[in-house]
Structure 1
Amino acid sequence: MRSSSILFIQVTLLILSTTSLCDPTMKEIKCEVCRALVKESVDLIAKADPKKKIPVGSFRLRADGTQEQKTVLYAGSETHMHDLLEQVCSSLDNYAQATHKENGELILVNLNKDIGKLSTYHVLANPDENGKLRKLCEDMLGEFEDEYIRVFLKAESQS
């Protein structure tokens, strides 16, 4: 009787420890989605043609029929940031949740780019949870779109 109680406790502890490794908190997942969002945004900004320019400002004609327009670099412009918003969350379809094999730290692994990390991380094979990453990204951008654009515009103007 005593050995079955000890076995039950051991199995319960094993399940609880495994669950804690495999079921990260929503806060951790949101942090990782935010990190991936920033990383993907920086990558997409870097891929933009540095020579491409777009017209900005007023498109009104003056009384003499001329038009005054300014051109700015597309890379890092507000237009570019809005275009990024449409693309960046779809890149999270290539991500999966993973935990470090030794310390259980949660990260998001880009399955197309982060092949080297797969040896030290255990990928959580749960398509439903990994499918929610894009939705979390879209929710974050929906809530913080103005701040996202403001931060990246400020970063681009300082570089």
Structure 2
Amino acid sequence: MKSGIKCISVSSLSNRCLTSAPTLHLPSSACRALVDEMEWAISQIDPKKMIQTGSFRINPDGSQSIREVPLARSEGNLLEMMESICERMGDYGERTDPSTNRKSYVRIKSRSGEAMDLSDASLDSRVTASLKFACETIVEQHEDEIIEFFAHETDNVKDKLCNLCDHALKMTHDEL
């Protein structure tokens, strides 16, 4: 069975195309890795750093529509993060749950340099390439939703965004 592109339609989304792979539960596992990496990247930015957004034009009444938002959650910063976030998928491998035989992606490289238990993880360049491709596809197809969830500090981003992807794959859809 080959991996393919499935196009779906969800009421809150326009038509979206997602990759699917027969051996991994995509996009759920890839989505969870992506969200973990985004949350970690956001946490590395000083929460006190602010950026001005809005219009710098002067309104007829002499005011400006400028507001300060945290840099970490600004749209520009999130877009910049998303440009390189999928490169971090090289830090992941594949793990098979022994009880369910379900495969998923797990981090195989520590962010702090600590040793990690890799006894149940498979290190394969094909897995890394598949995860990176899935990540890029999710970012490309769900860019607006990712920015929306992270910019507004939505609770349970992982569950909401990844359930959206899971739901989209389970729906009947038309292939384009």
Smaller-chain TM-score bracket:
0.5 to 0.7
- In the superposition, the TM-score normalised over structure 1's length comes to 0.68
**Match of 2:133, SS?**
helix
Judge conservation of contact 2:23–2:103 (CA < 8 Å) in 1: no
Structure 1: which 5+ runs fail to align?
1-23
Structure 2: which 5+ runs fail to align?
1-20, 156-176
The answer to whether 1:73 aligns with 2:77 is no
1:128 CA displacement:
2.2
Higher RCO structure (Cα 8 Å, ≥6 apart): 2
- In the superposition, the TM-score normalised over structure 2's length comes to 0.62
Q: Distance in 2 between matches of 1:144 and 1:53?
A: 26
> How many pairs align?
133
Counterpart of 1:136 (choices 134, 140, 143) is: 134
Sequence identity of aligned pairs in percent?
28
The answer to whether 1:53 aligns with 2:55 is no
Stretch deviating more after TM superposition (89-98 or 53-62): 53-62
Structure number with greater Rg is 1
Instruction: Provide the alpha-carbon RMSD of the alignment.
Output: 3.0
C-alpha spacing 1:101/1:122, structure 2 compared with 1 (3 Å) = farther
Deviations 1:58-86 (A, max 9, x none): 122568x9966332221222222212211
**Off by >3 Å, runs of 4+ in structure 1:** 65-69, 100-103, 114-117
1:137 CA displacement:
0.5
Q: Distance in 2 between matches of 1:146 and 1:68?
A: 23
Judge conservation of contact 2:50–2:70 (CA < 8 Å) in 1: yes
Judge conservation of contact 2:93–2:108 (CA < 8 Å) in 1: yes
Judge conservation of contact 1:51–1:73 (CA < 8 Å) in 2: yes
Which one has the bigger strand percentage?
Answer: 2
Which one has the bigger helix percentage?
Answer: 1
